[in-house]
Amino acid sequence: MIEICRIISKIPMSKLDFDAMSLDELWALHEQLGGILAERIVVEKRELELRLEQLNRGKDPEALSADGGRARKRRKYPRVFPKYQNPSIPTETWSGRGKKPRWLVPALKAGGQIKDFKIADTAK
């Protein structure tokens, strides 16, 4: 195997005739190239990690995330309690924010008013 590597290293790449090489010679070349590539990938990865570490110096490690630290934490909003309730199905409630629920729209079209659905014990 070492013998093949010495022979191949002396021949310019333009003159290598892969069709004329035996299977053993091709396999040895393949293994040698795989080893060289693996070493170079490891070295390149180390260099990139060092560079990334230098770029991130002085930054809060928890603030950095998968998207490069651009994601913000979501603001906590206070809990919104329901203000309106479906009289026929009391578990269906609405806080009064956002789109009107499906049970409320037809009730309002039928002539009902929003105050008819108000929950008596609304937390303020």
The verdict on residue 79 lying in a domain is no
The verdict on residue 38 lying in a domain is yes
φ, ψ (nearest 5 deg) of residue 118 = -65, 140
pLDDT band at 65 (very low <50, low <70, confident <90, very high): low
pTM of the model: 0.39
The verdict on residue 76 lying in a domain is no
Q: Pick the closest to residue 119 from 97, 88, 86, 89 (CA basis).
A: 86
pLDDT band at 105 (very low <50, low <70, confident <90, very high): very high
Structurally, the chain folds into a number of domains equal to: 2
- Residue 92: strand pairing partners: none
Average pLDDT, the chain: 83
Quick check: 122 pLDDT over 60?
no
Quick check: 39 pLDDT over 90?
yes
Look at residue 70 in the predicted model and tell me its pLDDT: 64
Pair 95, 81: CB distance under 8 Å: yes
The verdict on residue 69 lying in a domain is no
Residue range of the domain that includes 88: 84-117
The verdict on residue 12 lying in a domain is yes
The verdict on residue 20 lying in a domain is yes
Quote the tokens at residue 3. 């013998």
The verdict on residue 46 lying in a domain is yes
Q: How many other CB atoms are there within 10 angstroms of residue 76's CB atom?
A: 6
Look at residue 99 in the predicted model and tell me its pLDDT: 94
The verdict on residue 68 lying in a domain is no
Quote the tokens at residue 80. 């919104």
Residues 7 and 47 in one domain: yes
